[in-house]
């Protein structure tokens, strides 16, 4: 069982490692670490003229955190190191975190293109919350 996640999201979810250790679930968390909230950074490129605020993050060394919780932890800086480490982890059948450093300058499109758009109110009782209605009182 594998989980693929970015470092920003993993920073909010890494406590799940302790559950995997406690329950002896051999999940492999592949954390793609670009040292940023890249989805938010992409929104700042698209909507805010490259003005980056709060998008670069300093996170703990996730492999060390995993080991401190009783899981296997690996830091990977070169793509060619991924396959042998995954093979080793699969053989050990223990929970593991692979902290895989990736290029932080490559920004993918956000999952939701409408993330920063104003919401559409479908119920009349919430119409007063629409931005267009604020000045009409």
Q: Report pLDDT digits (tens) over 45-64.
A: 887 888 888 888 888 899 99
**pLDDT computed for residue 47 by the predictor:** 79
Strand partners, 32: 6, 100
Asked whether the beta carbons of 92 and 71 are under 8 A apart, the reply is no
Asked whether the beta carbons of 103 and 78 are under 8 A apart, the reply is no
Tell me which residue of 98, 104, 116 sits closest to 43, measured CA to CA.
Answer: 116
Total-model pTM: 0.74
Q: Where are the domains of the chain?
A: 2-108
**pLDDT computed for residue 48 by the predictor:** 83
Q: Report pLDDT digits (tens) over 106-125.
A: 777 666 666 667 667 778 88
**pLDDT computed for residue 113 by the predictor:** 66
**pLDDT computed for residue 27 by the predictor:** 95
Residue ranges of the chain with per-residue pLDDT less than 70: 109-116, 118-119, 131, 133, 135-137
Looking at 3.40.50.970, 3.30.1490.100, 3.40.640.10, 3.65.10.10, the CATH number of the domain 2-108 comes to 3.40.50.970
**pLDDT computed for residue 38 by the predictor:** 80
**pLDDT computed for residue 116 by the predictor:** 65
């Amino acid at each position: 069982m594998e989980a693929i996640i970015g470092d920003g999201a993993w920073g909010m979810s890494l406590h799940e490692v302790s559950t995997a250790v406690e329950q002896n679930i051999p999940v492999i968390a592949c954390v793609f670490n670009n040292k940023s909230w890249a989805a938010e950074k992409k929104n700042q490129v698209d909507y805010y003229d490259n003005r980056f605020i709060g998008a670069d993050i300093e996170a703990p060394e996730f492999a060390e955190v995993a080991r401190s919780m009783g899981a296997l932890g690996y830091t990977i800086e070169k793509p060619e190191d991924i396959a042998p480490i995954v093979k080793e982890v699969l053989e050990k059948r223990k929970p593991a975190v692979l902290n895989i450093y990736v290029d932080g300058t490559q920004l993918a499109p956000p999952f939701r293109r409408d993330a920063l758009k104003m919401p559409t109110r479908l119920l009349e009782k919430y119409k007063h919350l629409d931005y267009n209605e604020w000045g009409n009182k």
